[in-house]
Amino acid sequence: GESVGLHLPTLSVQEGDNSIINCAYSNSASDYFIWYKQESGKGPQFIIDIRSNMDKRQGQRVTVLLNKTVKHLSLQIAATQPGDSAVYFCAEIAQTGANNLFFGTGTRLTVIP
Amino acid sequence: DVKVTQSSRYLVKRTGEKVFLECVQDMDHENMFWYRQDPGLGLRLIYFSYDVKMKEKGDIPEGYSVSREKKERFSLILESASTNQTSMYLCASSLPTSGRPDTQYFGPGTRLTVL
């Protein structure tokens, strides 16, 4: 399954399928991008980050892709599990500085068993 | 693991009351933040602090104040609560790291309802 930017804030996928969550950012000067996961009733949890001089970064079951040409960021989750159900936020940092973190509104991922 | 705790998970207050939201982190982080989270608006920064007794306004500071008397504790104060301050409040902390973004670690949130 695949969401399209911030216009489709929900995404439903079958357990075991791969998920792709997309995010469009606006500031071409952003240096870093972070994906957060927020489960119901909890605060956002850091998943993975990527620097603007990279195109791809992999973690455990997650991959982040960055396309600076079109200012697009995506989070790919392999073999999606029920525990992956959550809201996923991308955040951009315009410069290395804690106060310059800007969050997207998020995409709600629902995993269907 | 970084642990950020918030004093209450749920809070119900009346209009005009003074409200204190407390946040404590146990990792000696220098930076601390208060956000509010509303449907369709994402996370919006209210105030942040780089050091003890230091505070900076975020994007939406109106109606709020903060206090940081100790490094591990950052308090958000609503001097006179209003219904439009009903929201989820999230505290975060981070440790400045040269050459890397200041990854913020969040608490579980306080859902405040102002009647």
**DSSP 3-state helix, strand, coil percentages of chain A (rounded to 5)?**
5, 50, 45
Q: What is the pLDDT of residues A69-90, one digit of tens each?
A: 999 999 999 999 999 999 998 9
Dihedral of CA B1/B9/B20/B33: which sign?
positive
Determine, for residues A99 and B58 on separate chains, whether the beta-carbon distance falls below 8 Å.
yes
Q: Quick one: pLDDT band at residue B101, thresholds 50, 70, 90?
A: low
Mean pLDDT, rounded, for A43-48: 92
Determine, for residues A34 and B90 on separate chains, whether the beta-carbon distance falls below 8 Å.
no
CB B105 within 8 Å of CB B93: yes
Determine, for residues B109 and A31 on separate chains, whether the beta-carbon distance falls below 8 Å.
no
Residue B103 has its nearest CB partner, among A34, A43, A105, at A34
A11 at B interface, C-beta within 8 A = no
Of B40, B84, B39, B80, the C-alpha closest to B60 is B84
Alpha-carbon distance of B62 to A101, in angstroms, equals: 19
Size of interface A-B (CB pairs under 8 A): 60
So what's the pLDDT on residue A42? 86
Of B88, B56, B101, the C-alpha closest to B74 is B56
- Chain B residues in contact with A34 (beta carbon < 8 A): 101, 103
Q: How far is B64 from chain A, CA to nearest CA, in Å?
A: 17
Q: What is the pLDDT of residues A12-42, one digit of tens each?
A: 999 999 999 999 888 888 888 999 999 988 8
So what's the pLDDT on residue B98? 63
Alpha-carbon distance of A1 to B41, in angstroms, equals: 24
Alpha-carbon distance of A12 to A69, in angstroms, equals: 28
Residue B48 has its nearest CB partner, among A34, A99, A104, at A99
So what's the pLDDT on residue B99? 62
